[in-house]
Amino acid sequence: MTEILSPLQGQIVQWHVQAGDSVRAGDVLLVIEAMKMEHEIRAQHDGRLTEIFFEDGTVVAEGEVLAMLQHLTRNRQNTADLMRATADPQHATTTVRPDLQRVIDRLAPTLDANRPETVARRHALGQRTARENIADLCDADSFMEYGALAVAAQRSRRSEEDLIKNTPADGMVTGIGSINQALFEPERSRAVVMAYDATVLAGTQGMRNHQKTDRLLGIALQQKLPVVLFAEGGGGRPGDVDMPIVAGLHVSTFASFARLNGQVPVLGVVAGRCFAGNAALLGCCDVIIATQGSNIGMGGPAMVEGGGLGVYKPEQIGPSEVQHGNGVIDILVADECVAVAAARHYLSFFQGRVKDWQAPEALALRDLVPENRLRVYDTRAVMKGIADQGSLLELRSGFGKGIHTALARIEGRPVGLLANNPLHLGGAIDADAADKATRFMQLCNAHGLPLVSLVDTPGFMVGPEIETQAQVRHVSRMFLAAAHLRVPYLSIVLRKGYGLGAMAMTAGGFHSPLFTVAWPTGEFGAMGLEGAVRLGYRKELEALPEGPKRTALYDQLVTQQYDKGSAIHMAATLEIDAVIDPAQTRDWLLRGLQTQRELPATGGPVIDAW
């Protein structure tokens, strides 16, 4: 005989059995209410209820005997099966409860599978849905969506059914997923992903999706998670009438988004049209990936026309060729599939080292700089010859063509690469190239990537025309950025290392980097050597009449300057650290990279929007 005791003080709501009834282990005997909550009292074993001591409605104390349960002899195997069925979820009923069914039904309109016409229209434009892009970006089944049940704040003008059907997730899909988890530890693969849904109210920014954005941005900052923003959309939405606001200029989304600057990698992806508020968030991203069919602008056609600035089609505002050429777009791709692949590639540089890598042919580096010192060449070939095969990702290739910038890996380790471009202005650094290099240094510095600088420059660009572009201010940004670097900086002079431009490419001076070495083709001077001879030996040259004698003296003096400014002579006077075999470049870089220590977190914005 077993006593059935009350586990707490409360009121008996209802007995589910009567005296004399047989029960099985796990059956509910009665329900007791305490603190507005109902507690089920179950049978501990099979048996027959012999006595019940209290009626419904009685208040009982903790430990009081409620009833007596007499043991019954049963087949032990049957009892064990019953207990297992009670405890094992796989033996539970497959019937969907009404409360769960309501959730399933409510989420259904958010899924692409239940929006065939909308998805078909999107595909007809050659574009993917927001959820398709997220599914491609994130590892399988890793995305946890936040705020899926939100709808537009328009209940006072639209029915609930209409809002659920036509404004799912309030036009923005937000959540956390894993990216590149196969390559990195799970905790390094997590990222916040947010995608405006262009099929819902043109991807505009509603009050609810602002709230969703703010929620995820707060998590990103707190947990130090990278952020990927699919930014297609038309900006602010005027139709959200449920909120008691006038202009909505108090929303915190833009400040919250900007607060991530320098704290975590922030990547923007655009296909289609991205205007106004959507473009403002995009402009705060570290890097922007966009498709060739994209348009990016601080105001769409309606805003432009409303400002009395003319009538334009969306395709006329900020087309990709313009935005790539002026530096807004960092990586220009053919379509969303390639854009997502580029996003995964970009994020991988901030997720850590990779174990599997393949080195390029080292000996090929020996022949990349022509023996003819006046012959131009492409320093991109040097970048590829240094980086692990397939790892190079060039940024801002359409802008600032005097300097190449790229992310890469060396034996699996992420680095940033800078290289002068002799194919443009002979490698001279103009305002655009300086801006590009400066921001790239800030990007790598903020996120802990060592910098490798490949130097071949005659210096800063000079002349009346270049000074109209504020050259003095723009190029000086390189010195300022380099002075605040906390990451290793490694410099290799490929050929020309002249003047202030060469100093800017070596973090402010040849002794500022961890090392400055040169290939045998390196040549150095305070300025271009021909110009130095004309200025420094003007009197001697002018003392001779124009003709063969003056030319011979000039050639002799230039030859002397080249001998004096050779890489070997520079190393002998300790102005540079070494002259190396080009084939040993990766070995030098690897030794230098081994000096980097764990970096402290930064604080405050450190990456210019420009």
Tell me the per-residue pLDDT of 176-207, one tens digit each, with 9 for 90 and over.
999 999 999 888 999 999 999 999 999 999 88
Q: Where are the beta strands (DSSP E) in 168-319?
A: 172-178, 190-196, 227-230, 266-270, 273-275, 287-291, 295-297
CA 278 – CA 231 distance, rounded (Å) = 6
Contact 513, 491 (CB under 8 A): yes
Tell me which residue of 414, 373, 413, 380 sits closest to 519, measured CA to CA. 373
- What is the pLDDT, as a whole number, of residue 605? 63
Tell me the per-residue pLDDT of 381-424, one tens digit each, with 9 for 90 and over.
999 999 999 999 999 999 999 999 999 999 999 999 999 999 99
Same domain for 127 and 59, yes or no, is no
Tell me the per-residue pLDDT of 505-552, one tens digit each, with 9 for 90 and over.
999 999 999 999 999 999 998 777 777 777 778 888 878 888 888 888
- What is the pLDDT, as a whole number, of residue 555? 81
Same domain for 211 and 81, yes or no, is no
CA 20 – CA 42 distance, rounded (Å) = 16
User: What separation in angstroms does the CA of 575 have from each of 104, 254, 456, 509?
Assistant: 71, 48, 17, 10
SS3 state of residue 43: coil
Residue 391 lies in a domain: yes
- What is the pLDDT, as a whole number, of residue 241? 80
Same domain for 440 and 580, yes or no, is yes
pTM (2 decimals)? 0.86
SS3 state of residue 40: strand
Name residues of the chain where pLDDT drops below 70.
73-93, 246, 598-605
CA 581 – CA 362 distance, rounded (Å) = 10
Contact 412, 357 (CB under 8 A): yes
Same domain for 280 and 426, yes or no, is no
- Which CATH number covers residue 500? 3.90.226.10
Cα-based angle 485, 491, 492 (whole degrees, multiple of 5): 165
Domain range for 112 is: 103-348
- Which of 348, 374, 400 is the last residue before a domain boundary? 348
What's the alpha-carbon Rg for the chain, to the nearest Å? Answer: 35
- What is the pLDDT, as a whole number, of residue 561? 77
Site of tokens 């005097």: 402
CA 188 – CA 183 distance, rounded (Å) = 10
Tell me which residue of 248, 245, 241, 236 sits closest to 156, measured CA to CA. 241
- Which CATH number covers residue 46? 2.40.50.100
Helix axes 130-137, 336-348, angle to 10 degrees: 40
Same domain for 202 and 304, yes or no, is yes
Residue 426 lies in a domain: yes
Same domain for 195 and 280, yes or no, is yes
Same domain for 241 and 339, yes or no, is yes
Task: Give the list of residues 6+ apart from residue 320 with CB closer than 8 angstroms, or none.
Answer: 290, 291, 292, 293, 294, 295, 296, 329, 332
Cα-based angle 27, 32, 37 (whole degrees, multiple of 5): 110
- What is the pLDDT, as a whole number, of residue 79? 43
